[in-house]
Every structure is written in C-alpha cells, then in structure tokens.
Amino acid sequence: MNDPADYKARSVSVALATAIVVSLSLLASSALGLKWLGNDEGYAPRQPIAFSHRLHAGELGVTCQYCHAGAERSRTAGLPPLATCMNCHSKVTASFLATRAEAEAAKRENRKPRPVASVELQKVYDALGVDHEGKPVAGKPPAPVRWARVYHLPDFVVFDHRPHVAAALACQTCHGPVETMETLRQAASLSMGWCVNCHRASKVEAPLLNWPKKASAASDRHASVDCKACHY
C-alpha cells in the first residue's frame, strides 16, 4: 500500500507546480499582451463608412443619445437611421477646408461653387439613393449599410441599457472615451468580473436595484450582483 505521507507530499508538490505554471502563464500573457479566450478588448473593426466619434462626439459635442436613442427606452442602444445623419448632412456635405477651397476656386474662375461631398459622406448619400440635398436620384435605390458590430455578449448574458441610463451612468463607463476615438473600439473586457466589480462599486437609487423590480431592502443601495440580474 502507498504511504499516506508520501501521497500527501506528492499532492502538495503537484498543487505547488500547478500554481507556479498558472502564475507564470498569467505573467507571460500580461507581458506579451495576450488575452483570455473571448476577450475582445481593443477590437476596432473597419467600418463601411469611416464615422468619426472624435469629430462628432468630441469636437462637435453631439450627445450619444442623439444617435443612439434606443439606449433610454430599450435594451439595445441601436444604430441611427441614415435619415438622422441627413439632419445635418443635407447642409454639411464636406469639410470646411474642402468647401472653402471650392468657393475660392469658383471665385477665381468666375463661376458658381459646385456641390462638394466628401468621400465618406458620398457613401451616405449613395446608401440612401439621394443627392447631397436629400433629393432622390433616379435609378439609385437605397441600400443598407452593413456596419460591423463592435460589442458582443454571449447569448446567456442579458444586458439592458435602460437601468444604466436611468442611473445616469456615463456612457464612457463601459464604452471608454468615445469622444477621443477616430475609429470606435471595444474599451473594456466585458468579463463577468469586470461587470460585477462595477456593480459592487456603484451606488444607485432603490427603484433601480434588481431592475426592473424594486429592491427588497431600502438600505441596499448598490447595483445588484444577483445572478438573475444578468442571467435570466
């Protein structure tokens, strides 16, 4: 029969070796910039239209919910219809520099300025089947823009924008400094630990706890960490 003391010593050795291997793996992963499977932090897919959040949300100060109006009234923030873009871009068709250059050229050539549309805005007009003034173009039917989704969650996770918006949580909490991003990227790991730590640290009003139900205890002012809050 095996000596119990010898068996115990081998078990301790195996456990210690496993801990060392795991620790070294974590250190190597951190040093090499490797990520756990399913962690898409930093993912920034190329979009069919190069929309600049830095310009719109940063320099121009367009609020997030002007374009992503669904965040306040539904689970998903949604994408704005191109008609929303036309609220501004039926008048603004190119950069200020490009527009001024055409105006100066027209003055030198003693003619009226021609319509100027940037390459990316022309994609918007083409998708809508309209000219830069929003008038339909004959023989050019509308076509959907196939945006590349940036943020993905597993099917067993249910995230709802409504309670987060109602709690006045800044969009940057989850999406990072969007107003500085030329190309939108995933700013957080979206791991369960990342979400749980935020819930533990966040204090909210009682009616928002355990959304959509009210909190059972008025003294508990932290966001729910109950499994059913995100897995129901």
Query: How do residues 84-94 score in pLDDT, each as one tens digit?
Result: 999 999 999 99
Residue 76, CA atoms < 13 Å, CB-side half-sphere: 8
For residue 206, CA distances in Å to 158, 167, 227 come to 21, 10, 18
C-beta atoms surrounding 26 within 10 Å:
12
Is 50 exceeded by the pLDDT of residue 222? yes
Rounded distance between C-alpha atoms, residue 201 and residue 222, angstroms: 7
Phi first, then psi: give them for residue 29, nearest 5 degrees.
Answer: -60, -40
Is 80 exceeded by the pLDDT of residue 11? no
Look at the chain and report how many structural domains it folds into.
1
**Residue 134, C-beta contacts closer than 8 angstroms, at least 6 positions apart:** 86, 90, 128
Q: What's the average model confidence in pLDDT over 18-26?
A: 68
106 domain residue, yes or no: yes
Query: How do residues 131-189 score in pLDDT, each as one tens digit?
Result: 988 899 999 999 999 999 999 999 999 999 998 998 888 999 999 999 999 999 999 99
Query: How do residues 48-61 score in pLDDT, each as one tens digit?
Result: 999 999 999 999 99
Query: How do residues 116-128 score in pLDDT, each as one tens digit?
Result: 999 999 999 999 9
123 domain residue, yes or no: yes
Predicted TM-score (pTM) of this structure: 0.74
% of the chain residues with pLDDT over 70: 78
C-beta atoms surrounding 36 within 10 Å:
10
Residue with tokens 């250059």: 101
Q: Virtual CA dihedral for 55, 56, 60, 64, nearest 10 degrees?
A: -140
Is 50 exceeded by the pLDDT of residue 102? yes
107 domain residue, yes or no: yes
Is 90 exceeded by the pLDDT of residue 2? no
108 domain residue, yes or no: yes
207 domain residue, yes or no: no
Paired tokens of 132: 């830069």
What pLDDT score was predicted for residue 204? 67
Per-residue pLDDT band for 40 (boundaries 50, 70, 90) equals: confident
Rounded distance between C-alpha atoms, residue 67 and residue 42, angstroms: 22
Torsion sign (Cα): 144, 149, 154, 156 = negative
Domain of residue 135: give its range. Answer: 91-141
Is 90 exceeded by the pLDDT of residue 109? yes
**107 vs 133: which has the higher pLDDT:** 107
Torsion sign (Cα): 119, 82, 78, 71 = positive
129 domain residue, yes or no: yes
134 domain residue, yes or no: yes
Rounded distance between C-alpha atoms, residue 150 and residue 188, angstroms: 11
Per-residue pLDDT band for 206 (boundaries 50, 70, 90) equals: very low
217 domain residue, yes or no: no
- Lowest mean per-residue pLDDT among 13-22, 131-140, 216-225: 216-225
